[in-house]
Structure 1
């Protein structure tokens, strides 16, 4: 997606969003490592290795789900993906999103550009719902980003995570993916 097709509020000079590949794993790992070590968007406490990130990447792509990176200049400045919400077959039409932006690039519209592209990709697929499980009810930027793209709050799990010496909530949000999907999918449609 070029910046010409991004929503006006998400325009960022020379931003390119493309499918992630194995050459992006080191940058993805570094961005996620920062968020694990300094923030509460993820409830992981020990940053996963590049090998573990590669395994996760391969599993997501193996399920035919989108995994995207945002590039500016020659560097990865953010990434996002849709993963299976839950492994049981009845959930096969629901995905969960994850978006992370490099710490020095926050507030520049990169998250919005990633979200717009991820939603576009998921709406073109067989999925009917996207959920967001946002770590920490104080994560106002993520909650605002999801609201901007039509997600509605569906609930909050109180004090379900413990990180940095405090109890944290998980905020649940949800958004339909396209109104043209069949109301009742066929048996075991994928």
Structure 2
């Protein structure tokens, strides 16, 4: 199992509709102020709701880290590519409110996400990380979970007046064995 315990006052759980305004609030500064995401306009709660519904229809998880009733971060897995042959491969996404970094929440979210994906039959997880200082924590986080660099795409994004490379990371998942269990707090 890849899970690590979250901080004692944190819970990783499935996103509910009431979490969407907070998800939008966490994501917006990354869009406006960084090159971590290539989105150029922040999403409102209704756009996040459409994302939530699309992921649910595809059977893919959308999780939040809840600290004392406050959503401190989120993670989800989306389809890697739309072609049918890619149906067992997903791309992960994780964002934390900067006030909650360094508390193990990214570790808890990624561990829980991988557990759910493994149980659902996903075989490959890809992470696309912008090669910018603001994303520096994403590489060691993914490497701790066994992701390996699979390549680099040079100057594929242009944001805030600068061309940005992305680093592709990949991790194979195996189906859980009979003695492994998936955390019941995520079901």
**TM-score, with structure 1 as normaliser:** 0.87
Deviation, 1:136, is: 2.4
Report the Cα offset of residue 180 of structure 1.
Answer: 6.5
Give runs of aligned pairs for residues 1-190 of structure 1, distance below 5 A. 7=4, 11-138=6-133, 139-178=135-174
Moved over 6 A (4+): none
SS across alignment from 2:77? strand
Higher deviation after alignment, 152-161 or 133-142: 133-142
Structure 2 residue runs of 5 or longer lacking an equivalent are: 178-187
Q: Distance in 2 between matches of 1:105 and 1:38?
A: 18
**Deviation sequence 1:128-150 (CA, Å, 0-9, x none):** 10000112254221011110100
- Measured after TM superposition, the shift of residue 13 of structure 1 is 2.7
Query: What 5-or-longer segments of structure 1 have no aligned partner?
Result: 182-190
Decide whether the 8 Å contact of 1:18 with 1:68 is kept in 2.
yes
Calculate the aligned-residue CA RMSD, in Å: 1.7
Higher relative contact order (CA 8 A, sep 6+): 2
**TM-score (norm. length: structure 2):** 0.88
